Protein backbone atom coordinates (compact mmCIF):
# COMPACT_ATOMS: atom_id res chain seq x y z
CA UNK A 1 0.00 0.00 0.00
CA UNK A 2 2.86 2.35 0.83
CA UNK A 3 4.54 1.78 -2.53
CA UNK A 4 1.26 2.36 -4.34
CA UNK A 5 0.77 5.62 -2.44
CA UNK A 6 4.30 6.77 -3.29
CA UNK A 7 3.75 5.91 -6.94
CA UNK A 8 0.42 7.71 -7.07
CA UNK A 9 1.89 10.77 -5.33
CA UNK A 10 4.77 10.95 -7.80
CA UNK A 11 2.40 10.58 -10.75
CA UNK A 12 0.00 13.24 -9.41
CA UNK A 13 2.84 15.71 -8.75
CA UNK A 14 4.14 15.18 -12.28
CA UNK A 15 0.71 15.81 -13.80
CA UNK A 16 0.34 19.03 -11.81
CA UNK A 17 3.87 20.17 -12.67
CA UNK A 18 3.37 19.60 -16.39
CA UNK A 19 0.36 21.91 -16.38
CA UNK A 20 2.17 24.87 -14.81
CA UNK A 21 3.98 27.10 -17.33
CA UNK A 22 7.64 27.90 -16.67
CA UNK A 23 8.05 31.68 -16.42
CA UNK A 24 11.76 31.40 -17.29
CA UNK A 25 10.85 30.01 -20.71
CA UNK A 26 8.34 32.76 -21.52
CA UNK A 27 10.91 34.98 -23.27
CA UNK A 28 11.89 32.09 -25.59
CA UNK A 29 8.36 31.05 -26.64
CA UNK A 30 8.35 32.94 -29.95
CA UNK A 31 11.72 31.51 -31.02
CA UNK A 32 10.66 27.97 -30.07
CA UNK A 33 7.37 28.32 -31.95
CA UNK A 34 9.39 29.53 -34.97
CA UNK A 35 11.32 26.25 -34.95
CA UNK A 36 14.45 27.35 -33.12
CA UNK A 37 15.99 25.11 -30.48
CA UNK A 38 16.47 26.03 -26.84
CA UNK A 39 19.37 24.47 -25.00
CA UNK A 40 19.62 25.02 -21.26
CA UNK A 41 22.82 23.72 -19.71
CA UNK A 42 23.46 23.27 -16.01
CA UNK A 43 27.20 23.66 -15.44
CA UNK A 44 29.40 24.71 -12.52
CA UNK A 45 29.78 28.48 -12.31
CA UNK A 46 33.52 28.25 -12.93
CA UNK A 47 33.03 26.52 -16.31
CA UNK A 48 30.38 28.82 -17.84
CA UNK A 49 32.83 30.72 -20.07
CA UNK A 50 34.50 27.48 -21.20
CA UNK A 51 31.16 25.90 -22.15
CA UNK A 52 30.00 29.04 -23.96
CA UNK A 53 33.23 29.06 -25.99
CA UNK A 54 32.83 25.36 -26.80
CA UNK A 55 29.23 25.81 -27.96
CA UNK A 56 30.14 28.85 -30.09
CA UNK A 57 33.07 26.97 -31.67
CA UNK A 58 30.70 24.27 -32.93
CA UNK A 59 27.69 26.53 -33.57
CA UNK A 60 28.72 30.12 -34.30
CA UNK A 61 25.09 30.95 -35.10
CA UNK A 62 24.05 30.18 -31.50
CA UNK A 63 22.88 33.03 -29.30
CA UNK A 64 24.24 32.71 -25.77
CA UNK A 65 21.70 34.44 -23.55
CA UNK A 66 23.69 34.45 -20.32
CA UNK A 67 23.29 32.78 -16.98
CA UNK A 68 20.57 32.51 -14.38
CA UNK A 69 21.13 32.94 -10.66
CA UNK A 70 22.13 29.89 -8.70
CA UNK A 71 19.16 28.34 -6.92
CA UNK A 72 19.82 25.65 -4.35
CA UNK A 73 17.74 22.54 -4.87
CA UNK A 74 17.38 21.83 -1.16
CA UNK A 75 17.48 24.94 1.05
From residue 58, alpha-carbon distances to 17, 37, 45, 52, 62 in Å are 34, 15, 21, 10, 9
Supply the pLDDT for residue 17. 62
The pTM (predicted TM-score) of the whole model is 0.55
**Which pLDDT belongs to residue 57?**
95
The pLDDT tens digits for 7-20 are: 877 877 776 666 66
* Model pLDDT, residue 75: 56
Cα–Cα distances in angstroms (integers) from residue 52 to residues 26, 33, 65, in the given order: 22, 24, 10
pLDDT tens, residue by residue, 35-67: 998 888 888 889 999 999 999 999 999 888 878
Amino acid sequence: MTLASIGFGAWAATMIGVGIPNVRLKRFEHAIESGELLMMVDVPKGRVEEIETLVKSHHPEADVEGTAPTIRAFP
